[in-house]
Amino acid sequence: MGRRVLRRGDHWWFDVSRGVYANFPFHVPIVPDRHEITGLLAGRGLVARYCCPVEHGRRSFMYVCEDRDYCVDQLSNNTRSKVRRGLRRNDVRRIRPRELGQLGGIDLSRDTIARQGRRAPAGHDDYWNRYFQAADESDGFEAWGAFAGSRLAAFLLSCNIDGCVNIFILRSHRDTLRDYPNNALIHEFLLDALSRPEIQLVSYGWESIQSTLVSLDSFKVAMNFKRREIGQRVELNCWIRPLAGSRLIQAVGQFAERRIQTERLGKLAGMVRWYSEQTKRTNA
């Protein structure tokens, strides 16, 4: 995919976007020292964001499901009804990631982005074609689809890293939402994943740094993902740090976070805000 992957100290990092790094495996808290962060952000690095013990960062959480007895009966009456209707109206099955390009996965991605009030970035279609192919060629990746007849109504992409299955992508089309393909898809995926002895938990990601994604968070909770307490920490390049407390930067950040269309700027603004809220660093 052209992502930059770096090893610094004992930890692995990759560039989520230009100049912005995150650590992986995502579910393992780390405490990198100052030298590691300085080396990571040297040159073109702007921001590092990582999972850490609560006492080392900003109190946060990740969404996890690790109940091997997971079943539809654990869900609320409303969600249970949606899952059952979804299963009646959709056929859920595992597919090859590369098939998503042929089945209309790119259209589902575009529709999901528009439904969230965002604009598809330049090169969107090429990016997702490459993503599907790269996932197909990489160990640990899985794709699942919910089909209304022969039509792909929703799809999911995940990756198993050290016994934690990370759900990276869930996309669907607005025309099919009344048939609840997302609920059916997540339910069947959890049943399958948690039945495998080599898998300890399924993660649906960290707390979002964007405050505008409340509806997605509600969906995760409804599908029985629990909020496991973690810390998240943001480190800024040394030349950005003095700007973080600027009233002008904070005002621009608040404006950007409210405008979901400016997703990249909104995420950067959220990181600056979290940086000001987190525990001051004490390790050398």
pLDDT, tens digit, 9 for 90 and up, residues 81-112:
999 999 999 999 999 999 999 999 999 999 99
pLDDT, tens digit, 9 for 90 and up, residues 20-46:
999 999 999 999 999 999 999 987 788
pTM for the whole thing?
A: 0.88
Report the pLDDT value the prediction gives residue 284, as an integer from 0 to 100. Answer: 41
Return the domain boundaries, the chain: 5-63+230-277, 74-199
The mean pLDDT value for 34-62 works out to 91
Q: Indicate whether 237 pLDDT > 60.
A: yes
Location of structure tokens 């660093």? 281
CATH of 74-199, one of 2.30.22.10, 3.40.630.30, 3.40.50.150, 2.60.40.1840: 3.40.630.30
Q: Indicate whether 17 pLDDT > 90.
A: no
pLDDT, tens digit, 9 for 90 and up, residues 176-217:
999 999 999 999 999 999 999 999 999 999 998 865 555 678
Report the pLDDT value the prediction gives residue 235, as an integer from 0 to 100. Answer: 92
- Which residues neighbour 264 within 8 Å (Cβ) at sequence distance 6 or greater? 17
More confident residue, 45 or 171: 171
